[in-house]
Amino acid sequence: MRKLRVAMLGFEHVHAVSMYDVFSRYPDRYELLGCAEFPPREGEIPEDPAERKKRVLGQRPLALVRDWRELLDRKPDLAVVCSNIARYADIAEETLGRKIPTVVEKPMAIRYGDGLRMARAARRAGVTLAVNWPVAWFDSFRKVRELTAEGKIGRILRVHYRSPATVGPYDPGTLSEEEMQKLFWYHRELGGGSACDYACYGCTLATWLFGRRAERVAGIRKNFFLPFSDVEDYTAYTLDFGDGVALIEGSWSTLNNGEVPTGPVVYGSEGVIVADRYRSEVKVYRRFSHQNTEPDEVYTAAPWNATTDDLAKHLYRHLTSGEPLYELLAPDFNLDALAALDAGIRASFTGAFESTEKEN
């Protein structure tokens, strides 16, 4: 079996851990060449690469290469990008310009214009650009998509999705205020805040389930717990799809789920589908009732932490045998999802509905 050589570029993103773990799970398919960080630019938070690697990746055995271009000179078969989100477009233009297939951790970018740069660079180079969404591998969410696509509940009217209970990327009390100020997560221009961490999931899932780009988005942002930071710790967006809407929440200020499903919950003209981020069951309700009822159908999927497919397995098939890139990873789809996120971020500042970008 051919081994693909992987370079990890940046490890500021907390999902660098899961990226390392998923590729190292298959030593017969992947060789991890090493990781590299970048000299800090104006507005970024300087940190010694070795200290950052220890803080984010712990004791995982991954060689640290001091010069990221030197790592690319080793001609990896795949570049995995987990820097701060504001860096993605610049890094992807470099890797794609070198004809290196590239995957970035979600979301695709902070702004639609940056995503457009990335997609165009991939087209020019004729190589793969992928965006990893952890929820792309949830079998229960795939079942929701399958059921809605086959018309199980008629025409989609509304999609609801809310982030799970969280107060940010780290558990409560893990970090002091001073320590948080040193992380990109608490700086809006670097991709911090609940919009790019959690509201992006709702934008993506709604775009996926409706099967098209939203037309316009309204939004609000609040900062309940983080007075030292310019990021929001609560975001709510309304996505207008013309003949349907999506209501999504991205929160860093929710202490407990309170037994309310995260969704996606899909309300259709002929029924309702209910799923949850951390549960295996997908429930279908087709009878009209004001009261709580038992579901008419229940589908049991693989649990969220033991999915039947994952990023590493899928990319290996894609890169070695030409299997098409899964829709949620593809650049054109991600431009549609990013258009909603971008419009929602703008709307949360203007207080008005903001139109989604159309240029591809």
pLDDT over threshold 90, residue 141: yes
> What is the mean pLDDT of the segment spanning 266-290?
96
> What is the mean pLDDT of the segment spanning 48-67?
92
What pLDDT, on the 0 to 100 scale, is given for residue 269?
98
Mean residue pLDDT across the chain: 96
> What is the mean pLDDT of the segment spanning 29-35?
97
pLDDT digits (tens, 9 = 90+) for 297-307: 999 999 999 99
What pLDDT, on the 0 to 100 scale, is given for residue 286?
95
In contact, 8 and 19? CB cutoff 8 Å: yes
In contact, 47 and 182? CB cutoff 8 Å: yes
Residue type, 206: A
pLDDT band at 172 (very low <50, low <70, confident <90, very high): confident
In contact, 108 and 337? CB cutoff 8 Å: yes
Residue 141 contacts by C-beta under 8 Å, 6 or more apart in sequence?
135, 205, 264, 275
> What is the mean pLDDT of the segment spanning 44-65?
92
pLDDT over threshold 80, residue 55: yes
Question: In Å, how far are 84, 229, 281, 288 from 191, measured between CA atoms?
Answer: 7, 13, 33, 43
Lowest-confidence segment of 20-24, 131-135, 255-259, 276-280 by average pLDDT: 255-259
In contact, 62 and 350? CB cutoff 8 Å: no
Percent of the chain residues past pLDDT 90, beyond the cut: 94
For the chain, which domains are there? 4-132 (3.40.50.720), 138-306+339-355 (3.30.360.10)
pLDDT band at 360 (very low <50, low <70, confident <90, very high): confident
Residue type, 332: D
3-state class (DSSP) for residue 11 = coil
pLDDT digits (tens, 9 = 90+) for 231-250: 999 999 999 999 999 999 99
What pLDDT, on the 0 to 100 scale, is given for residue 205?
98
Give dist(CA 203, CA 209) in Å, integer: 10
Give dist(CA 128, CA 122) in Å, integer: 6
pLDDT over threshold 90, residue 144: yes
What pLDDT, on the 0 to 100 scale, is given for residue 20?
96
pLDDT band at 91 (very low <50, low <70, confident <90, very high): very high
pLDDT digits (tens, 9 = 90+) for 106-121: 999 999 999 999 999 9
